[in-house]
Amino acid sequence: MNQISEAPSLVRSMSALTKTAWTPEFANYFKSSWNDIVEWQKANKDALRELVKLDGIAPVVQPVYHNTVNPSVGIRLHGINKWANENNINIVVHVHFNDYPRKNASVAGTYTGFSIYVPGGQFFNSTSTKAVANTVFKRLAKYNPVSNLRGERSGIIEEQDLIAIGSNNSVDAASLLIEYAYIYEPQLVDPKVRELYLKEIAYETYIGLLDFFDPAGALVEAKTFDTLTLPYKWNNQLTGKNDSPQDVFALQTALILDGVYPPAGLSSNECPRTGKLGPCTRSALQTFQHKYDINNENGIAGPKTIETLNRIYSARTL
C-alpha cells in the first residue's frame, strides 16, 4: 500500500512504507496484532473454501506467474488488508515495479509496460476496484505502454490469489495493485529519467483516482495538460548528443500529445519515453516537422522545431 502523493481531495491518504521501513502506524499494528492477523487470515481461507464448496465462488486459477511471498511479508500484507477493513479505508493502492524470473538478471528482460491487478470477479470488492482501475488505466495508458507479457496484455487483470488485493475475499475496500513498469526499462534504469518518470506516473495515477472520486476536480486539475511534464519551456536545441534528459522527456511527452509518438509502425513498448533522443524520437520528430512545415531540421530539434514546441506546449492556454 502506498499513498498517492499530494492528493488533497482524497479524504485521508496513508502510506504503509517509506523508502526503508514500515511507517509507525503499521509497524505498531503488525506488532500488536500479529496473532490476530494470522487467525483472521485462516478464517478468511476457511470461509472462502466454504464458498467454493457451496459453489458460490470458483477455485483460484493464476493467470500470471507471481513470486511466492515470504511468510512474514504475507502476514504483513494480510495485516494491511485487516487494518483497511477496520479503518473503513475506501481504496488501497499497491505500488509495484515488475520483474520476472529469467536466466541472467543483469540483462534487461523481454517484457515492458504497466498492468493493473484487480480482485477476481467473484470477490466482493471486485466491481468497485474495476471501476477505479479503469479510470487509472486510461490516464496511464495515454502516456505509457501497456504490458506486452501474454497474461497482462489486457492491462487490467483479475486475480484471486494476490494477498495484496484481498485474496480469500478478505478486503472490503477497492484494492488495486499497479505494476508500473519492468525494473530494467530505460526510464527506470537512468536515475535522472527515473526521477521525472516516477513523479509523472504518480501524477497520472492521482488524476486517474480523481476521475473516479472527484471527476469535476480531475477536470480542473488536468485542464490543458494531464501530465506533470507539460507545460515545458525548451531552451536548447536537441541533437542526440549531450541533450538534457529532462528536455527530451518533455519532448517525447509533447510528441505523444501531438499524436506522432510512437512513430507510425512502432508500438509504445518499442518507443517508451526514455529521455534519450534515439531512432523513435527522430522518426517522430520528422512527422512533427512535416506536420508543421518545418524544413531542414531532419529528425533533430533545431531552432524552428523548438520554437514550435514552445508555442504549443510551453504555456497553459485554453
Q: Measured from the CB atom, is 163 or 294 closer to Zn ion? A: 163
Distance of closest approach, residue 164 Cβ to Zn ion, in angstroms: 8
Q: Measured from the CB atom, is 96 or 282 closer to Zn ion? A: 96
Distance of closest approach, residue 23 Cβ to Zn ion, in angstroms: 20
Q: Does 69 bind Zn ion (CB under 5 A)?
A: no
Instruction: State the cell numbers at 250.
Output: 518533455
Euclidean distance between CA atoms 6 and 23, whole angstroms? 18
Q: Measured from the CB atom, is 153 or 291 closer to Zn ion? A: 153
CB atoms within 10 A of CB 77: 22
Q: Using CB under 5 A, which of the segments 73-81, 96-104, 126-134, 264-272 binds Zn ion?
A: 96-104
Residues 6+ apart with CB under 8 A from 122: 56, 57, 58, 160, 169
Q: Using CB under 5 A, which of the segments 19-27, 44-52, 93-101, 239-247 binds Zn ion?
A: 93-101
Q: Is 51 exposed, middle or buried (0-12, 13-18, 19+ CB in 10 A)?
A: middle
Q: Does 99 bind Zn ion (CB under 5 A)?
A: no
Q: Using CB under 5 A, which of the segments 27-35, 90-98, 161-169, 180-188 binds Zn ion?
A: 90-98
Q: Which residue in 250, 278, 115 sits closest to 193, CA to CA?
A: 250
Q: Using CB under 5 A, which of the segments 34-42, 89-97, 214-222, 251-259 binds Zn ion?
A: 89-97
Q: Which amino acid is at 109?
A: G
Residue 113 φ/ψ region, left for φ over 0, alpha for ψ in the -120 to 50 degree band, beta for the rest? left
Site size with Zn ion, rule: CB under 5 A: 1
Q: Which residue is nearest to Zn ion (CB)?
A: 96
CB atoms within 10 A of CB 182: 21
Q: Measured from the CB atom, is 96 or 276 closer to Zn ion? A: 96
Q: Is the peptide bond before 262 cis (omega within 30 degrees of 0)?
A: yes
Q: Does 96 bind Zn ion (CB under 5 A)?
A: yes
Contact of 299 with 263, CB cutoff 8 Å: no
Distance of closest approach, residue 234 Cβ to Zn ion, in angstroms: 36
Where do contacts with Zn ion occur on this chain (CB under 5 A)? 96
